[in-house]
Chains A and B, each alone.
Chain A
Protein backbone atom coordinates (compact mmCIF):
# COMPACT_ATOMS: atom_id res chain seq x y z
CA UNK A 1 0.00 0.00 0.00
CA UNK A 2 1.29 3.44 -0.82
CA UNK A 3 1.14 6.23 1.74
CA UNK A 4 -1.82 7.83 0.03
CA UNK A 5 -3.77 4.56 0.08
CA UNK A 6 -3.21 4.30 3.82
CA UNK A 7 -4.58 7.80 4.23
CA UNK A 8 -7.59 6.95 2.06
CA UNK A 9 -8.24 3.87 4.18
CA UNK A 10 -8.14 6.07 7.28
CA UNK A 11 -10.37 8.77 5.77
CA UNK A 12 -12.84 8.40 8.63
CA UNK A 13 -10.30 9.96 11.00
CA UNK A 14 -9.99 13.01 8.76
CA UNK A 15 -13.73 13.34 8.34
CA UNK A 16 -14.26 13.13 12.10
CA UNK A 17 -11.57 15.74 12.69
CA UNK A 18 -12.96 17.94 9.95
CA UNK A 19 -16.48 17.76 11.38
CA UNK A 20 -15.14 18.49 14.85
CA UNK A 21 -13.22 21.52 13.59
CA UNK A 22 -16.33 22.71 11.75
CA UNK A 23 -18.36 22.24 14.91
CA UNK A 24 -15.86 24.21 17.00
CA UNK A 25 -15.74 26.88 14.31
CA UNK A 26 -19.54 27.08 14.06
CA UNK A 27 -20.09 27.25 17.80
CA UNK A 28 -17.29 29.78 18.21
CA UNK A 29 -18.69 31.94 15.42
CA UNK A 30 -22.34 31.91 16.48
CA UNK A 31 -21.84 32.24 20.23
CA UNK A 32 -18.89 34.60 19.85
CA UNK A 33 -20.86 36.84 17.52
CA UNK A 34 -23.81 36.88 19.93
CA UNK A 35 -21.45 37.76 22.78
CA UNK A 36 -19.92 40.53 20.66
CA UNK A 37 -23.38 41.96 19.91
CA UNK A 38 -24.30 41.79 23.60
CA UNK A 39 -21.12 43.63 24.58
CA UNK A 40 -21.74 46.36 22.01
CA UNK A 41 -25.32 46.63 23.26
CA UNK A 42 -23.92 46.91 26.79
CA UNK A 43 -21.59 49.69 25.67
CA UNK A 44 -24.50 51.47 24.00
CA UNK A 45 -26.49 52.90 26.87
CA UNK A 46 -24.57 51.63 29.87
CA UNK A 47 -23.45 53.53 32.93
CA UNK A 48 -19.78 54.14 33.57
CA UNK A 49 -18.85 51.09 35.70
CA UNK A 50 -20.23 48.53 33.23
CA UNK A 51 -18.78 50.38 30.26
CA UNK A 52 -15.31 50.54 31.81
CA UNK A 53 -15.46 46.86 32.75
CA UNK A 54 -16.43 45.92 29.18
CA UNK A 55 -13.64 48.02 27.70
CA UNK A 56 -11.10 46.43 30.03
CA UNK A 57 -12.37 42.98 29.06
CA UNK A 58 -12.09 43.75 25.32
CA UNK A 59 -8.60 45.23 25.62
CA UNK A 60 -7.38 42.37 27.82
CA UNK A 61 -8.52 39.80 25.24
CA UNK A 62 -6.86 41.74 22.44
CA UNK A 63 -3.54 41.70 24.28
CA UNK A 64 -3.63 37.99 25.13
CA UNK A 65 -2.60 35.07 22.91
CA UNK A 66 -5.52 32.69 22.39
CA UNK A 67 -3.64 29.69 23.70
CA UNK A 68 -3.00 31.36 27.06
CA UNK A 69 -6.75 31.77 27.51
CA UNK A 70 -7.29 28.13 26.56
CA UNK A 71 -4.59 27.13 29.08
CA UNK A 72 -6.30 29.24 31.71
CA UNK A 73 -9.60 27.43 31.14
CA UNK A 74 -8.17 23.94 30.83
CA UNK A 75 -5.27 23.90 33.30
CA UNK A 76 -6.00 26.94 35.48
CA UNK A 77 -9.68 26.67 36.36
CA UNK A 78 -9.52 23.25 38.06
CA UNK A 79 -7.57 24.83 40.90
CA UNK A 80 -10.62 27.05 41.48
CA UNK A 81 -12.76 23.92 41.57
CA UNK A 82 -14.20 24.33 38.05
CA UNK A 83 -13.36 21.29 35.95
CA UNK A 84 -14.06 21.59 32.22
CA UNK A 85 -13.44 18.91 29.61
CA UNK A 86 -10.94 19.89 26.93
CA UNK A 87 -13.76 20.40 24.45
CA UNK A 88 -15.77 22.62 26.83
CA UNK A 89 -12.65 24.60 27.74
CA UNK A 90 -11.82 25.04 24.04
CA UNK A 91 -15.29 26.22 23.08
CA UNK A 92 -15.57 28.66 25.98
CA UNK A 93 -12.12 30.08 25.23
CA UNK A 94 -13.06 30.50 21.55
CA UNK A 95 -16.35 32.20 22.40
CA UNK A 96 -14.90 34.57 25.00
CA UNK A 97 -11.82 35.48 22.98
CA UNK A 98 -13.47 36.03 19.65
CA UNK A 99 -16.55 37.58 21.26
CA UNK A 100 -14.26 40.36 22.45
CA UNK A 101 -12.79 40.75 18.94
CA UNK A 102 -16.25 40.84 17.33
CA UNK A 103 -17.26 43.45 19.91
CA UNK A 104 -14.22 45.57 19.06
CA UNK A 105 -14.95 45.33 15.32
CA UNK A 106 -18.61 46.31 15.79
CA UNK A 107 -17.64 49.09 18.22
CA UNK A 108 -15.25 50.49 15.62
CA UNK A 109 -18.12 50.63 13.12
CA UNK A 110 -20.48 52.11 15.74
CA UNK A 111 -18.17 55.11 16.25
CA UNK A 112 -18.55 56.09 12.59
CA UNK A 113 -22.34 55.75 12.56
CA UNK A 114 -23.96 59.20 12.21
CA UNK A 115 -25.89 60.13 15.40
CA UNK A 116 -28.86 61.57 13.49
CA UNK A 117 -30.49 58.18 12.94
CA UNK A 118 -30.38 57.28 16.60
CA UNK A 119 -31.85 60.62 17.59
CA UNK A 120 -34.61 60.22 14.99
CA UNK A 121 -35.37 56.72 16.24
CA UNK A 122 -35.57 57.93 19.84
CA UNK A 123 -37.89 60.73 18.72
CA UNK A 124 -40.09 58.13 16.99
CA UNK A 125 -40.40 56.29 20.28
CA UNK A 126 -38.21 53.27 19.57
CA UNK A 127 -37.23 51.45 22.70
CA UNK A 128 -33.52 50.96 23.24
CA UNK A 129 -33.29 47.17 22.50
CA UNK A 130 -35.60 47.49 19.51
CA UNK A 131 -33.60 50.36 18.05
CA UNK A 132 -30.37 48.43 18.53
CA UNK A 133 -31.74 45.31 16.87
CA UNK A 134 -33.55 46.96 13.97
CA UNK A 135 -31.42 50.01 13.25
CA UNK A 136 -27.92 49.91 14.63
CA UNK A 137 -26.85 46.26 14.49
CA UNK A 138 -27.71 45.53 10.83
CA UNK A 139 -25.75 48.59 9.72
CA UNK A 140 -22.76 47.71 11.88
CA UNK A 141 -22.63 44.18 10.50
CA UNK A 142 -22.93 45.32 6.88
CA UNK A 143 -20.36 48.05 7.38
CA UNK A 144 -17.75 45.80 8.97
CA UNK A 145 -18.42 42.65 6.94
CA UNK A 146 -14.91 42.60 5.47
CA UNK A 147 -13.21 42.78 8.85
CA UNK A 148 -15.64 40.21 10.26
CA UNK A 149 -14.68 37.87 7.42
CA UNK A 150 -11.00 38.22 8.31
CA UNK A 151 -11.82 37.56 11.94
CA UNK A 152 -13.66 34.36 10.95
CA UNK A 153 -10.52 33.11 9.20
CA UNK A 154 -8.49 33.91 12.33
CA UNK A 155 -11.09 32.03 14.39
CA UNK A 156 -10.77 29.00 12.11
CA UNK A 157 -7.01 29.03 12.53
CA UNK A 158 -7.31 29.43 16.29
CA UNK A 159 -9.28 26.18 16.53
CA UNK A 160 -6.02 24.40 15.63
CA UNK A 161 -4.46 25.65 18.88
CA UNK A 162 -6.88 23.43 20.74
CA UNK A 163 -4.87 20.36 19.70
CA UNK A 164 -2.44 21.44 22.43
CA UNK A 165 -5.14 21.03 25.09
CA UNK A 166 -5.99 17.62 23.53
CA UNK A 167 -9.19 18.49 21.65
CA UNK A 168 -9.77 15.95 18.84
CA UNK A 169 -9.92 18.24 15.81
CA UNK A 170 -8.45 18.28 12.32
CA UNK A 171 -4.83 18.94 13.26
CA UNK A 172 -5.04 16.30 16.00
CA UNK A 173 -6.26 13.82 13.37
CA UNK A 174 -3.17 14.41 11.22
CA UNK A 175 -0.92 14.30 14.25
CA UNK A 176 -2.38 10.98 15.37
CA UNK A 177 -2.18 9.39 11.91
CA UNK A 178 1.38 10.54 11.36
CA UNK A 179 2.28 9.04 14.70
CA UNK A 180 0.69 5.71 13.82
CA UNK A 181 1.94 5.25 10.24
CA UNK A 182 4.98 7.59 10.11
CA UNK A 183 3.66 9.45 7.08
CA UNK A 184 3.59 12.98 8.51
CA UNK A 185 4.04 14.84 5.25
CA UNK A 186 1.07 13.38 3.39
CA UNK A 187 -1.20 13.53 6.45
CA UNK A 188 -0.48 17.20 7.01
CA UNK A 189 -0.76 18.09 3.34
CA UNK A 190 -4.32 16.69 3.41
CA UNK A 191 -5.16 18.68 6.54
CA UNK A 192 -3.68 21.92 5.20
CA UNK A 193 -5.82 21.33 2.10
CA UNK A 194 -8.91 21.11 4.30
CA UNK A 195 -8.08 24.40 6.03
CA UNK A 196 -7.39 26.02 2.68
CA UNK A 197 -10.78 24.94 1.33
CA UNK A 198 -12.64 26.39 4.33
CA UNK A 199 -10.72 29.67 4.05
CA UNK A 200 -11.48 29.99 0.34
CA UNK A 201 -15.15 29.29 1.04
CA UNK A 202 -15.13 31.98 3.74
CA UNK A 203 -13.50 34.48 1.39
CA UNK A 204 -16.14 33.74 -1.24
CA UNK A 205 -18.87 34.22 1.36
CA UNK A 206 -17.43 37.61 2.34
CA UNK A 207 -17.25 38.65 -1.34
CA UNK A 208 -20.86 37.61 -1.78
CA UNK A 209 -21.86 39.59 1.30
CA UNK A 210 -19.95 42.53 -0.15
CA UNK A 211 -21.96 42.40 -3.36
CA UNK A 212 -25.30 42.02 -1.61
CA UNK A 213 -24.31 44.83 0.76
CA UNK A 214 -23.34 47.07 -2.13
CA UNK A 215 -26.85 46.58 -3.55
CA UNK A 216 -28.19 48.07 -0.34
CA UNK A 217 -25.92 51.07 -0.61
CA UNK A 218 -22.98 50.07 1.59
CA UNK A 219 -20.08 50.58 -0.72
CA UNK A 220 -17.13 50.83 1.63
CA UNK A 221 -16.30 47.41 3.00
Chain B
Protein backbone atom coordinates (compact mmCIF):
# COMPACT_ATOMS: atom_id res chain seq x y z
CA UNK B 1 0.00 0.00 0.00
CA UNK B 2 1.37 3.39 -0.96
CA UNK B 3 0.68 6.84 0.43
CA UNK B 4 -2.38 7.49 -1.80
CA UNK B 5 -3.96 4.31 -0.47
CA UNK B 6 -3.30 5.43 3.08
CA UNK B 7 -4.74 8.88 2.49
CA UNK B 8 -7.85 7.28 0.94
CA UNK B 9 -8.18 5.08 4.03
CA UNK B 10 -7.86 8.05 6.35
CA UNK B 11 -10.47 9.91 4.29
CA UNK B 12 -12.77 6.91 4.71
CA UNK B 13 -12.11 6.92 8.45
CA UNK B 14 -12.98 10.62 8.53
CA UNK B 15 -16.29 9.96 6.72
CA UNK B 16 -17.13 7.18 9.20
CA UNK B 17 -16.22 9.41 12.13
CA UNK B 18 -18.14 12.52 11.15
CA UNK B 19 -21.28 10.67 10.08
CA UNK B 20 -21.21 8.60 13.27
CA UNK B 21 -20.41 11.68 15.35
CA UNK B 22 -23.37 13.66 14.04
CA UNK B 23 -25.67 10.66 14.53
CA UNK B 24 -24.41 10.10 18.08
CA UNK B 25 -24.96 13.74 19.04
CA UNK B 26 -28.45 13.75 17.53
CA UNK B 27 -29.28 10.30 18.90
CA UNK B 28 -28.28 11.05 22.50
CA UNK B 29 -30.29 14.29 22.66
CA UNK B 30 -33.32 12.98 20.75
CA UNK B 31 -33.24 9.87 22.95
CA UNK B 32 -33.41 12.07 26.03
CA UNK B 33 -36.33 14.04 24.59
CA UNK B 34 -38.20 10.85 23.69
CA UNK B 35 -37.58 9.38 27.14
CA UNK B 36 -38.89 12.62 28.70
CA UNK B 37 -42.02 12.58 26.55
CA UNK B 38 -42.59 8.91 27.33
CA UNK B 39 -42.20 9.53 31.06
CA UNK B 40 -45.16 11.94 30.81
CA UNK B 41 -47.27 8.95 29.60
CA UNK B 42 -49.49 10.98 27.24
CA UNK B 43 -52.04 8.37 26.05
CA UNK B 44 -51.63 8.15 22.27
CA UNK B 45 -48.09 9.53 21.99
CA UNK B 46 -46.77 7.03 24.52
CA UNK B 47 -47.89 4.02 22.45
CA UNK B 48 -46.63 5.51 19.18
CA UNK B 49 -43.17 6.13 20.63
CA UNK B 50 -43.16 2.65 22.15
CA UNK B 51 -43.97 1.18 18.75
CA UNK B 52 -41.21 3.25 17.13
CA UNK B 53 -38.65 2.05 19.68
CA UNK B 54 -39.71 -1.57 19.27
CA UNK B 55 -39.50 -1.46 15.47
CA UNK B 56 -36.31 0.60 15.29
CA UNK B 57 -34.54 -1.77 17.65
CA UNK B 58 -35.53 -4.78 15.56
CA UNK B 59 -34.65 -3.33 12.15
CA UNK B 60 -31.14 -4.03 10.83
CA UNK B 61 -29.21 -0.88 9.95
CA UNK B 62 -28.60 -1.99 6.37
CA UNK B 63 -32.31 -2.47 5.80
CA UNK B 64 -33.08 0.90 7.36
CA UNK B 65 -30.47 2.73 5.26
CA UNK B 66 -31.76 1.15 2.05
CA UNK B 67 -35.36 1.84 3.03
CA UNK B 68 -34.73 5.53 3.66
CA UNK B 69 -32.47 6.10 0.69
CA UNK B 70 -34.64 4.26 -1.85
CA UNK B 71 -38.07 5.41 -0.68
CA UNK B 72 -37.25 9.10 -0.19
CA UNK B 73 -37.46 9.82 -3.97
CA UNK B 74 -40.89 8.13 -4.22
CA UNK B 75 -42.12 10.68 -1.66
CA UNK B 76 -40.63 13.44 -3.76
CA UNK B 77 -37.76 14.15 -1.38
CA UNK B 78 -34.37 14.53 -2.97
CA UNK B 79 -32.06 13.17 -0.36
CA UNK B 80 -28.31 13.35 -0.25
CA UNK B 81 -26.51 10.06 0.50
CA UNK B 82 -24.87 11.34 3.66
CA UNK B 83 -28.17 12.78 4.93
CA UNK B 84 -29.85 9.42 4.36
CA UNK B 85 -26.99 7.68 6.20
CA UNK B 86 -27.15 10.09 9.13
CA UNK B 87 -30.94 9.78 9.28
CA UNK B 88 -30.80 5.99 9.39
CA UNK B 89 -28.05 5.84 12.01
CA UNK B 90 -29.86 8.47 14.10
CA UNK B 91 -33.23 6.68 13.92
CA UNK B 92 -31.51 3.49 15.04
CA UNK B 93 -29.40 4.88 17.88
CA UNK B 94 -32.16 7.20 19.18
CA UNK B 95 -34.32 4.18 19.98
CA UNK B 96 -31.55 2.50 22.00
CA UNK B 97 -30.60 5.75 23.75
CA UNK B 98 -34.22 6.44 24.65
CA UNK B 99 -34.33 3.09 26.46
CA UNK B 100 -31.08 3.87 28.29
CA UNK B 101 -32.41 7.24 29.46
CA UNK B 102 -35.76 5.71 30.39
CA UNK B 103 -34.16 3.08 32.62
CA UNK B 104 -32.08 5.85 34.21
CA UNK B 105 -35.29 7.78 34.93
CA UNK B 106 -36.92 4.70 36.42
CA UNK B 107 -33.96 3.89 38.66
CA UNK B 108 -33.70 7.42 39.98
CA UNK B 109 -34.68 7.71 43.63
CA UNK B 110 -38.01 9.38 44.23
CA UNK B 111 -36.84 10.78 47.60
CA UNK B 112 -34.76 13.46 45.91
CA UNK B 113 -37.78 14.56 43.89
CA UNK B 114 -39.93 14.82 46.98
CA UNK B 115 -37.20 16.76 48.81
CA UNK B 116 -36.70 19.15 45.88
CA UNK B 117 -40.42 19.81 45.52
CA UNK B 118 -40.72 20.25 49.29
CA UNK B 119 -38.13 23.05 49.29
CA UNK B 120 -40.10 24.74 46.53
CA UNK B 121 -38.30 23.82 43.28
CA UNK B 122 -40.43 23.68 40.16
CA UNK B 123 -40.32 20.35 38.30
CA UNK B 124 -38.27 22.04 35.54
CA UNK B 125 -35.62 23.32 37.93
CA UNK B 126 -35.59 19.96 39.72
CA UNK B 127 -34.96 18.13 36.45
CA UNK B 128 -32.22 20.49 35.29
CA UNK B 129 -30.38 21.01 38.59
CA UNK B 130 -30.87 17.73 40.45
CA UNK B 131 -31.89 14.87 38.19
CA UNK B 132 -30.09 15.50 34.89
CA UNK B 133 -26.55 15.95 36.27
CA UNK B 134 -26.86 12.67 38.15
CA UNK B 135 -28.44 10.52 35.45
CA UNK B 136 -25.93 11.78 32.89
CA UNK B 137 -23.15 10.29 34.99
CA UNK B 138 -24.96 7.03 35.76
CA UNK B 139 -26.01 6.38 32.18
CA UNK B 140 -22.80 7.52 30.52
CA UNK B 141 -21.25 4.00 30.45
CA UNK B 142 -24.31 2.57 28.65
CA UNK B 143 -24.42 5.56 26.30
CA UNK B 144 -20.77 5.08 25.36
CA UNK B 145 -21.42 1.37 24.88
CA UNK B 146 -24.21 2.27 22.46
CA UNK B 147 -21.82 4.66 20.67
CA UNK B 148 -19.38 1.84 20.00
CA UNK B 149 -22.30 -0.28 18.75
CA UNK B 150 -23.19 2.55 16.37
CA UNK B 151 -19.65 2.71 15.00
CA UNK B 152 -19.62 -1.07 14.59
CA UNK B 153 -22.91 -0.75 12.69
CA UNK B 154 -21.85 2.27 10.64
CA UNK B 155 -20.44 0.19 7.71
CA UNK B 156 -24.13 -0.27 6.80
CA UNK B 157 -24.05 3.14 5.13
CA UNK B 158 -21.62 1.69 2.59
CA UNK B 159 -24.59 -0.06 0.95
CA UNK B 160 -25.89 3.21 -0.53
CA UNK B 161 -22.49 4.16 -1.88
CA UNK B 162 -21.05 6.34 0.87
CA UNK B 163 -17.30 5.78 0.76
CA UNK B 164 -16.69 5.10 4.43
CA UNK B 165 -13.83 3.22 6.05
CA UNK B 166 -15.25 -0.14 4.91
CA UNK B 167 -16.15 0.69 1.34
CA UNK B 168 -12.93 2.55 0.66
CA UNK B 169 -11.14 -0.82 0.80
CA UNK B 170 -13.00 -1.78 -2.39
CA UNK B 171 -11.83 1.42 -4.08
CA UNK B 172 -8.24 0.78 -3.11
CA UNK B 173 -8.24 -2.87 -4.16
CA UNK B 174 -9.82 -1.89 -7.49
CA UNK B 175 -6.54 -0.09 -8.22
CA UNK B 176 -4.00 -2.36 -6.55
CA UNK B 177 -5.72 -5.76 -7.08
CA UNK B 178 -4.63 -6.63 -3.55
CA UNK B 179 -7.74 -6.56 -1.32
CA UNK B 180 -6.13 -8.05 1.79
CA UNK B 181 -3.84 -5.16 2.96
CA UNK B 182 -6.49 -2.41 2.83
CA UNK B 183 -9.07 -4.58 4.61
CA UNK B 184 -6.60 -5.39 7.37
CA UNK B 185 -5.61 -1.72 7.65
CA UNK B 186 -9.27 -0.67 7.81
CA UNK B 187 -9.86 -3.29 10.50
CA UNK B 188 -6.92 -1.92 12.49
CA UNK B 189 -8.30 1.64 12.21
CA UNK B 190 -11.73 0.47 13.41
CA UNK B 191 -10.06 -1.29 16.33
CA UNK B 192 -8.27 1.92 17.32
CA UNK B 193 -11.50 3.95 17.18
CA UNK B 194 -13.56 1.42 19.11
CA UNK B 195 -10.77 0.73 21.62
CA UNK B 196 -10.68 4.46 22.38
CA UNK B 197 -14.42 4.34 23.08
CA UNK B 198 -14.07 1.23 25.26
CA UNK B 199 -11.35 2.98 27.23
CA UNK B 200 -13.59 6.02 27.63
CA UNK B 201 -16.39 3.73 28.79
CA UNK B 202 -14.10 2.26 31.46
CA UNK B 203 -13.18 5.74 32.70
CA UNK B 204 -16.86 6.70 32.76
CA UNK B 205 -17.67 3.55 34.72
CA UNK B 206 -15.04 4.41 37.34
CA UNK B 207 -16.53 7.90 37.68
CA UNK B 208 -20.06 6.51 37.90
CA UNK B 209 -19.08 3.95 40.55
CA UNK B 210 -17.37 6.60 42.63
CA UNK B 211 -20.55 8.68 42.56
CA UNK B 212 -22.69 5.57 43.03
CA UNK B 213 -26.14 6.49 44.17
Q: Which residues of A contact B (CB under 8 A)?
A: 60, 63-69, 71-72, 75-80, 153, 156-161, 163-164, 170-171, 174-175, 178, 182-185, 188-189, 191-192, 195-196, 198-200
Contact = CB atoms under 8 A, between A and B. Distances in A.
Interface string B177-194: 011100110110011001
Nearest to A178: B70
Given A66-B152, A67-B155, A75 B169 contact: yes
Contacts of A198: 58
B115 interface: no
A198 B195 CA distance: 32
Given A68-B166, A71-B169, A161-B60, A63 B66 contact: no
Given A153-B58, A160-B61, A184-B67, A79 B191 contact: no
B158 interface: yes
B66 A174 contact: yes
A161 B151 CA distance: 14
B159 interface: yes
A191 to B, nearest CB: 6
B58 A195 contact: yes
Interface of B: 54-55, 57-64, 66-67, 70-71, 74-75, 151-156, 158-159, 166, 169-170, 173, 178-180, 183-184, 186-187, 190-191, 194-195, 198
A68 B159 contact: no
Nearest to B194: A63
Of listed A63, A72, A158, residue having the most chain B CB within 10 A? A63
B63 A174 contact: yes
A188 B187 contact: no
A75 B176 CA distance: 13
A79 B54 CA distance: 42
A163 B160 CA distance: 12
Closest 8 CB pairs between A and B?
A160-B60, A184-B70, A199-B58, A185-B71, A188-B67, A67-B155, A157-B60, A63-B191
Given A67-B156, A80-B180, A195-B60, A171 B66 contact: yes
Contacts of A156: 60
8 contacts: A65-B166, A76-B183, A77-B180, A79-B180, A160-B60, A184-B67, A192-B63, A196-B59
A95 B94 CA distance: 29
Nearest to A199: B58
B62 A164 contact: yes
Nearest to A73: B183
A180 to B, nearest CB: 12
Nearest to B178: A79
Contacts of B155: 65-68, 161, 164
A8 B141 CA distance: 45
A182 B74 CA distance: 9
Contacts of A192: 55, 58-59, 63-64, 67
Contacts of A200: 54, 58
Contacts of B158: 67, 164
A156 B62 CA distance: 12
A141 B195 CA distance: 28
B59 A63 contact: no
Contacts of A65: 151-155, 166, 190
B67 A185 contact: yes
Contacts of A191: 63
B74 A188 contact: no
Contact of B66 (A75, A159, A175, A199): A175
Nearest to B75: A185
Contacts of B186: 68, 71
Contacts of A195: 58-60, 63
